[in-house]
């Protein structure tokens, strides 16, 4: 049997409680439509940031130069790089680590560039609950100002293969 059209006159305007529920849903939709842009500007949301196109190779080159120029030490074989206050810091995500370890000064403003060398990774800064996606092909830029000092672990929160659970990094904030 084929699907047939409903009989003519099947549609009737809602009445009674159906009318009330449709009305309530519509009102709530309108409240949310206004609330979403409001929260974007005035709420405590993760910032939107900026994004630019970049190839993994070009981003890798920028990270290399950045590490070469500002390296101040090493942590378990990973370079520790002091980002110049007011300047640009680069964080590379790849299977399965974050590179390098960034060192920031409390109270200073930085532009943090993040991109992936291979596939989608997540940037989850602990214990602050800041979460972003890191995608290959995009240079995602966050303007940040650390307000407390300490060691802040980064974990990958997008499943990215067999080593996903080992994919961690660090941001160090000094006074």
Binding site for ligand CUA (CB under 6 A): 96, 121, 156, 158-160, 164, 167
Question: Any idea what the Cα angle at residue 19 is, between residues 18 and 25, rounded to 5°?
Answer: 90
Closest separation in Å from C-beta 154 to ligand CUA: 10
Closest separation in Å from C-beta 57 to ligand CUA: 19
Looking at the Cβ atoms of 63 and 70, the one nearer to ligand CUA is 63
Closest separation in Å from C-beta 167 to ligand CUA: 4
Looking at the Cβ atoms of 112 and 160, the one nearer to ligand CUA is 160
Looking at the Cβ atoms of 28 and 159, the one nearer to ligand CUA is 159
Q: In terms of Cα–Cα distance, which of 137, 145, 50, 51 is closest to 93?
A: 137
Cα separation, 131 vs 97, in Å, equals 16
Q: In terms of Cα–Cα distance, which of 3, 14, 165, 168 is closest to 76?
A: 168
């Amino acid at each position: 049997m084929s699907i047939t059209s409903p009989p003519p006159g099947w549609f009737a305007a809602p009445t009674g409680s159906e009318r009330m529920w449709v009305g309530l849903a519509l009102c709530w939709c309108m409240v949310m439509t206004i609330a979403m842009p409001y929260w974007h500007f005035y709420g405590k949301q993760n910032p939107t940031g900026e994004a630019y196109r970049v190839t993994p190779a070009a981003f890798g080159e920028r990270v290399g130069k950045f590490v070469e120029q500002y390296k101040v030490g090493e942590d378990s074989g990973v370079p520790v790089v002091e980002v110049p206050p007011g300047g640009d810091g680069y964080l590379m995500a790849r299977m399965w680590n974050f590179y390098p370890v960034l060192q920031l000064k409390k109270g200073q403003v930085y532009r943090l560039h993040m991109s992936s060398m291979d596939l989608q990774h997540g940037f989850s800064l602990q214990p602050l609950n800041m979460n972003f996606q890191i995608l290959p092909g995009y240079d995602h830029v966050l303007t940040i100002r650390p307000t407390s000092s300490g060691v802040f672990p980064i974990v990958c929160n997008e499943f990215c293969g067999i080593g996903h659970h080992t994919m961690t990094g660090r941001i160090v904030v000094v006074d």
